[in-house]
Amino acid sequence: MTETTTTLLSNKPPGYFSRRHKTREALDDYKAEKAAIQQDKIDDVEIRRKERAARTPAQQIAQLDSILGKDKGAKKERWRLLLQIAKGN
């Protein structure tokens, strides 16, 4: 098929790429930016996991208290931490 035939069949003007992105380069830039944001999120999660792993159960309860307030929220997490403290872990 020729370009004119393809354009007529798809009802898109010549040079049209997509509704959001005018060119293939714009789409590639968008995908690269989105991938970079996703990687930043993954890196942040890994940092938080390492920080959490370094805290003791008592320190984690103190952290929850500072974030949520004294004995507010995260009831199951607090209960699990208190059991760990009671067992001596």
> Which tens digit of pLDDT belongs to each residue from 26-67?
889 999 999 999 999 999 999 999 999 999 999 999 999 998
* Domain match, 36 and 63 both: no
* Domain match, 80 and 70 both: yes
Backbone angles phi, psi at 39, to 5 degrees: -65, -40
Count up the domains in the chain and report the number: 2
Residue-range definition of the domain harbouring residue 63: 56-89
pLDDT band at 10 (very low <50, low <70, confident <90, very high): low
Burial label for 74, CB within 10 Å (0-12, 13-18, 19+), is middle
User: Mean pLDDT in the chain?
Assistant: 85
* Domain match, 34 and 74 both: no
* Domain match, 4 and 20 both: yes
Is the pLDDT assigned to residue 8 strictly greater than 70? no
Q: In the predicted model, what is the mean pLDDT of residues 13-28?
A: 80
* Domain match, 7 and 49 both: yes
* Domain match, 8 and 41 both: yes
